[in-house]
A and B are shown apart, each in its own frame.
Chain A
Amino acid sequence: ETGVTQSPTHLIKTRGQQVTLRCSSQSGHNTVSWYQQALGQGPQFIFQYYREEENGRGNFPPRFSGLQFPNYSSELNVNALELDDSALYLCASSLIGREAFFGQGTRLTVV
Protein backbone atom coordinates (compact mmCIF):
# COMPACT_ATOMS: atom_id res chain seq x y z
CA GLU A 1 0.00 0.00 0.00
CA THR A 2 1.04 3.59 -0.62
CA GLY A 3 1.26 6.23 2.11
CA VAL A 4 -1.65 8.19 0.61
CA THR A 5 -4.78 8.10 2.73
CA GLN A 6 -8.21 9.47 1.92
CA SER A 7 -11.22 10.10 4.10
CA PRO A 8 -13.98 9.26 4.30
CA THR A 9 -14.11 6.03 2.31
CA HIS A 10 -17.79 6.37 1.51
CA LEU A 11 -20.43 9.04 1.95
CA ILE A 12 -23.91 9.87 0.79
CA LYS A 13 -25.06 13.43 0.20
CA THR A 14 -28.24 15.06 -1.01
CA ARG A 15 -28.40 17.09 -4.21
CA GLY A 16 -27.56 20.75 -3.51
CA GLN A 17 -25.42 20.01 -0.47
CA GLN A 18 -21.71 20.66 -0.11
CA VAL A 19 -19.00 18.06 0.56
CA THR A 20 -15.35 18.07 1.63
CA LEU A 21 -13.02 15.18 0.87
CA ARG A 22 -9.61 14.86 2.48
CA CYS A 23 -6.26 13.47 1.39
CA SER A 24 -3.03 12.95 3.29
CA SER A 25 -0.12 12.80 0.91
CA GLN A 26 2.80 10.43 1.13
CA SER A 27 5.67 11.67 3.29
CA GLY A 28 8.00 13.93 1.32
CA HIS A 29 5.55 14.58 -1.52
CA ASN A 30 4.73 18.21 -2.31
CA THR A 31 2.17 17.72 -5.08
CA VAL A 32 -1.40 16.47 -4.84
CA SER A 33 -3.73 15.78 -7.75
CA TRP A 34 -7.43 14.95 -7.64
CA TYR A 35 -9.30 12.78 -10.12
CA GLN A 36 -12.97 11.91 -10.59
CA GLN A 37 -13.75 8.38 -11.74
CA ALA A 38 -17.34 7.81 -12.83
CA LEU A 39 -18.65 4.26 -12.88
CA GLY A 40 -17.16 2.31 -15.77
CA GLN A 41 -14.85 5.12 -16.81
CA GLY A 42 -11.21 6.06 -16.42
CA PRO A 43 -10.25 8.79 -13.95
CA GLN A 44 -10.60 12.40 -15.10
CA PHE A 45 -8.19 15.09 -13.87
CA ILE A 46 -9.84 17.72 -11.68
CA PHE A 47 -6.86 19.80 -10.52
CA GLN A 48 -3.38 19.71 -9.05
CA TYR A 49 -1.88 21.52 -6.09
CA TYR A 50 1.84 22.23 -5.78
CA ARG A 51 3.22 23.94 -2.70
CA GLU A 52 -0.23 25.16 -1.66
CA GLU A 53 -1.10 26.72 -5.03
CA GLU A 54 -3.43 25.38 -7.74
CA ASN A 55 -1.11 24.24 -10.50
CA GLY A 56 -3.40 23.15 -13.28
CA ARG A 57 -7.07 22.40 -13.68
CA GLY A 58 -9.15 20.06 -15.81
CA ASN A 59 -12.54 20.69 -17.35
CA PHE A 60 -14.50 21.01 -14.11
CA PRO A 61 -16.72 23.91 -13.03
CA PRO A 62 -15.72 26.37 -10.29
CA ARG A 63 -17.94 24.64 -7.73
CA PHE A 64 -15.08 22.13 -7.56
CA SER A 65 -12.41 23.77 -5.45
CA GLY A 66 -9.48 22.69 -3.36
CA LEU A 67 -6.87 23.52 -0.80
CA GLN A 68 -3.41 22.31 0.02
CA PHE A 69 -2.02 22.83 3.50
CA PRO A 70 1.57 23.47 4.65
CA ASN A 71 1.97 19.77 5.44
CA TYR A 72 0.91 19.10 1.81
CA SER A 73 -2.34 17.39 2.75
CA SER A 74 -5.27 18.49 0.63
CA GLU A 75 -9.02 18.95 0.51
CA LEU A 76 -11.44 18.76 -2.37
CA ASN A 77 -14.65 20.76 -1.92
CA VAL A 78 -17.70 20.40 -4.10
CA ASN A 79 -20.59 22.86 -3.75
CA ALA A 80 -24.15 22.54 -4.98
CA LEU A 81 -23.86 18.80 -5.51
CA GLU A 82 -25.49 17.31 -8.59
CA LEU A 83 -26.48 13.71 -9.23
CA ASP A 84 -23.70 13.44 -11.84
CA ASP A 85 -21.12 14.18 -9.15
CA SER A 86 -21.63 10.63 -7.90
CA ALA A 87 -18.25 8.98 -8.49
CA LEU A 88 -15.05 7.67 -6.96
CA TYR A 89 -12.73 10.54 -6.10
CA LEU A 90 -9.05 9.66 -6.18
CA CYS A 91 -6.17 11.57 -4.71
CA ALA A 92 -2.60 11.10 -5.92
CA SER A 93 0.55 12.51 -4.39
CA SER A 94 4.00 12.90 -5.89
CA LEU A 95 7.06 15.02 -6.21
CA ILE A 96 6.51 17.23 -9.23
CA GLY A 97 7.58 15.37 -12.35
CA ARG A 98 7.82 12.04 -10.57
CA GLU A 99 5.61 8.97 -10.20
CA ALA A 100 2.18 9.51 -8.64
CA PHE A 101 0.91 7.30 -5.82
CA PHE A 102 -2.83 6.94 -5.37
CA GLY A 103 -5.03 6.59 -2.33
CA GLN A 104 -7.97 4.19 -2.13
CA GLY A 105 -10.48 6.85 -3.02
CA THR A 106 -13.70 8.22 -1.61
CA ARG A 107 -16.96 6.86 -3.02
CA LEU A 108 -19.45 9.74 -3.17
CA THR A 109 -23.12 9.06 -3.81
CA VAL A 110 -25.45 11.99 -4.44
CA VAL A 111 -29.16 11.26 -4.02
Chain B
Amino acid sequence: AQTVTQSQPEMSVQEAETVTLSCTYDTSESDYYLFWYKQPPSRQMILVIRQEAYKQQNATENRFSVNFQKAAKSFSLKISDSQLGDAAMYFCAYRSFQGGSEKLVFGKGTKLTVNP
Protein backbone atom coordinates (compact mmCIF):
# COMPACT_ATOMS: atom_id res chain seq x y z
CA ALA B 1 0.00 0.00 0.00
CA GLN B 2 1.15 3.50 -0.73
CA THR B 3 1.98 5.77 2.19
CA VAL B 4 2.91 9.43 2.40
CA THR B 5 4.85 10.87 5.33
CA GLN B 6 5.23 14.52 6.25
CA SER B 7 7.64 14.73 9.17
CA GLN B 8 7.13 18.42 9.96
CA PRO B 9 3.79 19.07 11.72
CA GLU B 10 4.52 22.81 11.80
CA MET B 11 6.91 25.20 10.09
CA SER B 12 7.33 28.95 10.22
CA VAL B 13 9.04 31.42 7.90
CA GLN B 14 9.62 35.14 7.78
CA GLU B 15 7.90 37.05 5.03
CA ALA B 16 10.09 37.20 1.89
CA GLU B 17 12.24 34.29 3.06
CA THR B 18 12.40 30.73 1.69
CA VAL B 19 11.03 27.61 3.33
CA THR B 20 11.16 23.94 2.41
CA LEU B 21 8.50 21.41 3.37
CA SER B 22 9.47 17.73 3.41
CA CYS B 23 7.60 14.70 2.12
CA THR B 24 8.53 11.06 1.63
CA TYR B 25 6.42 8.33 0.14
CA ASP B 26 6.43 4.61 -0.35
CA THR B 27 5.23 2.80 -3.45
CA SER B 28 6.05 -0.17 -5.66
CA GLU B 29 4.64 1.51 -8.75
CA SER B 30 6.98 2.95 -11.37
CA ASP B 31 4.65 5.52 -12.90
CA TYR B 32 2.69 7.88 -10.68
CA TYR B 33 1.97 11.50 -9.90
CA LEU B 34 2.84 13.53 -6.84
CA PHE B 35 1.12 16.70 -5.70
CA TRP B 36 1.32 19.45 -3.14
CA TYR B 37 -2.01 20.87 -2.03
CA LYS B 38 -2.65 23.96 0.06
CA GLN B 39 -5.60 24.11 2.44
CA PRO B 40 -6.29 27.58 3.88
CA PRO B 41 -8.87 28.15 6.63
CA SER B 42 -11.54 28.26 3.91
CA ARG B 43 -10.99 24.45 3.81
CA GLN B 44 -10.80 24.11 0.04
CA MET B 45 -7.89 22.02 -1.23
CA ILE B 46 -5.97 24.04 -3.80
CA LEU B 47 -3.43 22.39 -6.08
CA VAL B 48 -0.04 24.07 -5.74
CA ILE B 49 2.18 21.94 -7.94
CA ARG B 50 2.28 18.57 -9.68
CA GLN B 51 5.13 16.22 -10.60
CA GLU B 52 4.98 13.28 -12.97
CA ALA B 53 7.28 10.51 -11.80
CA TYR B 54 8.62 9.80 -15.29
CA LYS B 55 9.88 13.36 -15.63
CA GLN B 56 13.37 13.96 -14.28
CA GLN B 57 12.99 17.73 -14.36
CA ASN B 58 11.65 19.24 -11.15
CA ALA B 59 8.34 21.06 -11.51
CA THR B 60 8.17 24.82 -10.94
CA GLU B 61 5.18 27.12 -10.60
CA ASN B 62 6.19 30.74 -9.99
CA ARG B 63 7.48 30.90 -6.38
CA PHE B 64 6.85 27.20 -5.80
CA SER B 65 9.25 24.45 -6.83
CA VAL B 66 9.88 20.85 -5.90
CA ASN B 67 12.92 18.70 -5.31
CA PHE B 68 11.89 15.28 -6.59
CA GLN B 69 14.29 12.45 -5.74
CA LYS B 70 12.70 9.32 -7.21
CA ALA B 71 15.25 6.82 -5.90
CA ALA B 72 14.96 8.24 -2.40
CA LYS B 73 11.16 8.58 -2.74
CA SER B 74 11.39 12.16 -1.58
CA PHE B 75 9.30 15.10 -2.79
CA SER B 76 9.94 18.39 -1.00
CA LEU B 77 8.28 21.74 -1.69
CA LYS B 78 10.25 24.98 -1.71
CA ILE B 79 8.41 28.27 -1.32
CA SER B 80 10.49 31.30 -2.26
CA ASP B 81 9.76 34.91 -1.31
CA SER B 82 7.11 33.75 1.18
CA GLN B 83 3.99 35.88 1.42
CA LEU B 84 1.42 36.22 4.18
CA GLY B 85 -1.12 34.54 1.91
CA ASP B 86 1.01 31.40 1.83
CA ALA B 87 0.02 30.62 5.42
CA ALA B 88 -2.02 27.41 5.35
CA MET B 89 -1.90 23.65 5.81
CA TYR B 90 0.16 21.98 3.09
CA PHE B 91 -0.50 18.39 2.11
CA CYS B 92 1.71 16.14 0.05
CA ALA B 93 -0.27 13.59 -1.98
CA TYR B 94 0.42 10.57 -4.16
CA ARG B 95 -1.96 9.53 -6.90
CA SER B 96 -2.48 5.82 -7.09
CA PHE B 97 -4.02 4.40 -10.25
CA GLN B 98 -4.80 0.69 -10.02
CA GLY B 99 -7.37 -1.44 -11.83
CA GLY B 100 -9.00 1.54 -13.47
CA SER B 101 -9.55 3.25 -10.13
CA GLU B 102 -7.57 6.19 -8.89
CA LYS B 103 -7.24 7.82 -5.52
CA LEU B 104 -5.10 10.37 -3.76
CA VAL B 105 -3.13 9.27 -0.71
CA PHE B 106 -2.37 12.24 1.54
CA GLY B 107 0.16 12.88 4.27
CA LYS B 108 -0.90 14.36 7.60
CA GLY B 109 0.04 17.85 6.56
CA THR B 110 2.38 20.66 7.60
CA LYS B 111 1.01 23.86 9.07
CA LEU B 112 2.93 26.81 7.62
CA THR B 113 2.98 30.12 9.48
CA VAL B 114 4.32 33.22 7.75
CA ASN B 115 5.57 35.92 10.10
CA PRO B 116 5.49 39.56 8.99
B100 and A55: CB pair below 8 A? yes
* Shortest distance from the beta carbon of A43 to any chain B beta carbon, whole Å: 5
A35-B106, A42-B91, A45-B104 known; 9 new pairs, CB 8 Å cut-off, are: A42-B108, A48-B103, A55-B100, A88-B43, A92-B45, A97-B102, A102-B44, A104-B42, A104-B44
From DSSP, what is the main secondary structure of chain B's interface residues?
A: strand
In the assembled complex, A100 has its CB within 8 A of some CB on chain B: yes
**B102 and A41 within 8 A (CB):** no
A74-103 contacts to B, CB under 8 A, are 88, 90, 92, 96-97, 99-103
Interface size on A (CB < 8 Å)?
Answer: 27
Bound: A103/B46 CA distance, A: 9
Number of B residues contacting the other chain (C-beta, 8 Å)? 23
Contact mask for chain B residues 99-112; partner A; CB cutoff 8 A; 1 contact, 0 none = 11111111111000
Q: Which residue of B lies closest to A43 (CB)?
A: B106
B106–A90 CB distance below 8 A: no
Contact yes or no, B45 A102, CB < 8 A: yes
26 inter-chain pairs at a CB distance below 8 angstroms, sorted by A residue, are A1-B44, A2-B44, A33-B103, A33-B104, A35-B106, A40-B108, A42-B93, A42-B106, A42-B108, A44-B106, A48-B103, A56-B99, A56-B101, A56-B103, A90-B43, A92-B45, A92-B104, A96-B102, A99-B47, A100-B104, A102-B37, A103-B44, A104-B42, A104-B43, A105-B44, A107-B43
Q: Which of A35, A40, A42, A55 contacts B107 (CB 8 A)?
A: A42
Known: A55-B100, A55-B101, A56-B102. A43 touches B45 (CB 8 A): yes
Chain A residues with CB under 8 Å of B43's CB are: 88, 90, 104-105, 107
Q: How far is the CA of A66 from the CA of B44 in the complex (A)?
A: 21
- Complex CA gap A35/B101 in Å reads 15
**Which of B97, B99, B105, B108 interacts with A97 by CB under 8 Å?**
B97
Q: A92 CA to B44 CA in the complex, in Å? A: 10
Question: Would you give the shortest CB distance from A70 to chain B, in whole angstroms?
Answer: 20
